[in-house]
Amino acid sequence: MNDIILNVTPSVFGVIAYILISIGYWNIFKKCGVKPYLSFIPIVREYNISLCADKEEDGKNYIILAMIYYVLEVLYTVFKDNVKIVLFLFIFLISAAIALFIYHLRINLGLIKVFGRSKKWIWAFIFCETITVLIFGLSKNFVPTKKVDIVPDKYGVKGLDQDINSIDDGLTVNISEKTSYFYFKKKTLLKDIHMNIKKGHMVLLLGGSGAGKTTFLNAITGYEKAKANITLGDIDVYKDYGKMIYDVGFVPQQDLVRGNDTVTLTLADAAALRLPSNIPLKERSERIDKVLDQFGLTVVKHNLVDKLSGGQKKRVSIAMEFISDPTLFILDEPDSGLDGVVARSLFQKLRAIADEGKIVIVITHTPDRVVDLFDDVIVLIKDKTRTGRLAFYGPVKESYEFFDENTMEGILRKINPKDVGGDGRGEEFVEKYAELMKGKVG
């Protein structure tokens, strides 16, 4: 009987301690604006404590370490009879435990600071955490100086909320929703984005930081699938993704080129990857020569990439993706780091590509210096739920009338949130554009 009591008692005390500390955190969460029931869920609780303590990054690291620690514990149990493995795992377990203690300490120090208390309270957390958490949670004298910034769950902005008909001569985008889970929280990245982009159009993608521009591009190319229907002509981008590999080109902001290769060798490697394997060698060589000429690289085709100017390197990066002659060509800040003259020359080449019957979509942080080269503009905004929404899509001239502005910078200023120096009117234009579209597709 005594053996049973000795074995059961620590477990009972552990359960009681867990319940008590959960009650303390329940009230701390209420005070800080976090959902109280999360205080009873292991791991999730620790992350939300870090939010209350204004130590989110430490909370993320704590969770990762905790998961590693639990895996090591399981492995330790499985290999307990193997001395060498146990010793190896023991070293990592001790290291993980020390790191967990440090991050837990940092989070508690953050909580103490948020509640406006002396750092000496850390000793109470170290030696009697359960009672200390109960005091912080239950005492009316312990009030946080700031609350957690909670993003609303529901959308307050009305959109189009219906798909538009597909077109045969271009790209049709019908994104209902793009979601992702980030540290136990479901995050809606995009919602209710619908448009038709015809071949031969060069389109500017405009939006402030966090508006979902890159996510939008990843969604329409099938790189990150959304709840959506995306078609390029009569091809479904998601269902026929294998066919689309050669028909979509994406140039990231960072140049992905090897500096110790020549320009020709760089394009040859790209052709080997981007062109179908059954293309004859002669045809592949002709395609490389055509792209070299198209981007003004013929004169430097034998030069090492490292020896090129910034503008030439950027053209090599673009040429690598264009080698497959894609119908849809997307570029993320291709003018980054380039001066005005070089940047304009680059955009003129992109304009020429669009004039060949391609669809070219570009993100640039300096739109006004080249806006005359674009046909249309897509304007994305970040709403109060921090979700990317469509505020406008159409000809550049019509965008000026729609937003009552005469520059792209002016449009950005109107749609950007007030906390980043904007007018905070983005949601207003989402609803205005939705009403405009309903009149066209209704």
Give the model confidence (pLDDT) of 84-134 as tens digits. Answer: 888 888 899 999 999 999 999 999 999 999 999 999 999 999 999 999 999
Classify residue 197: in a domain, yes or no.
Answer: yes
Residue 149 domain flag: no
Instruction: Indicate the residue among 138, 159, 186 that finishes a domain.
Output: 138
Half-sphere exposure of 74 toward its Cβ, with a 13 Å CA cutoff? 6
Same domain, 377 and 243: yes
Residues 88 and 214 reside in one and the same domain: no
CATH of residue 202: 3.40.50.300
- Tell how strand 202-207 and strand 227-232 pair up: unpaired
Q: Is 60 exposed, middle or buried (0-12, 13-18, 19+ CB in 10 A)?
A: middle
Q: Distance (Å, rounded) from C-alpha 69 to C-alpha 63? A: 10
Q: Is residue 295 part of a domain?
A: no
Whether residues 12 and 134 fall in one domain: yes
- Domain range for residue 177? 170-247+326-441
The reply to whether 175 and 131 lie within a common domain is: no
Q: Spell out the SS3 assignment of 323-392.
A: CCCCCEEEEECCCCCCCHHHHHHHHHHHHHHHHCCCEEEEECCCHHHCHHHCCEEEEEEECCCCCEEEEE
Considering the domain architecture, whether residues 330 and 409 belong to the same structural domain is answered as yes
Do 212 and 356 share a domain, yes or no?
A: yes
> Is 217's pLDDT higher than 80?
yes
- Rounded Cα–Cα distance for residues 287 and 231 (Å): 27
Q: Is residue 195 part of a domain?
A: yes
For residues 134 and 181, membership in a common domain is answered with no
151 or 78: which leads in pLDDT: 78
pLDDT at 208 over 90: no
Q: What is the pLDDT of residue 9?
A: 52
End residue of a domain, out of 138, 160, 185? 138
Structural domain contains residue 330 = yes
The answer to whether residues 336 and 310 touch, using CB atoms and an 8 Å cutoff, is: no
Is 382 within 8 Å of 426 (Cβ atoms)? yes
pLDDT of residue 440: 75
DSSP secondary structure string for all residues of 144-204: -SS---PPPSS--S----SPPPP-TTEEEEEEEEEEEEETTEEEEEEEEEEEEEETT-EEE
Q: How large is the average pLDDT for residues 137-151?
A: 89
From the centroid of its chain, how far is CA 172? 22
30 dihedral zone (left: phi>0; alpha: psi -120 to 50; beta): alpha
Of 138, 159, 190, at which residue does a domain stop? Answer: 138
Could you tell me how many helices (H) and strands (E) the chain has, helices first? Answer: 15, 10
Per the structure, how many domains does the chain have? 2
Asked if 32 and 55 touch (Cβ cutoff 8 Å), the reply is: no
Quick check: is 258 in a domain? Answer: no
Is the whole model's pTM more than 0.85, yes or no?
A: no
The answer to whether residue 64 is domain-embedded is: yes
Does residue 36 sit in the same domain as residue 134? yes
Q: How far apart are CA 317 and CA 252, in angstroms?
A: 9
375 and 419 part of one domain: yes
Question: Which residue, 119, 184, 146, is CA-closest to 31?
Answer: 146
The pLDDT tens digits for 330-364 are 999 888 878 878 889 989 999 999 999 999 999 99
28 lies in the same domain as 108: yes
User: Are residues 330 and 224 part of one domain?
Assistant: yes
- Alpha-carbon distance 139 to 175, whole Å? 48
Task: Say if 418 falls within a structural domain.
Answer: yes
Per-residue pLDDT of 283-329, as tens digits, reads: 989 999 999 998 899 999 999 988 888 888 888 888 998 998 999 99
Rounded Cα–Cα distance for residues 277 and 274 (Å) = 9
Both 191 and 66 in a single domain? no
Confidence of residue 1 (pLDDT cuts 50, 70, 90): very low
**According to the model, what pLDDT value does residue 80 have?**
83
Q: For residues 360 and 248, what is the distance between their CA atoms, to the nearest angstrom?
A: 10
pLDDT over 70 for what percent of the chain?
95
pLDDT at 191: 94
What pLDDT is stored for residue 155 in this prediction? 67
Q: In whole angstroms, give the CA distance from residue 112 to residue 124.
A: 11
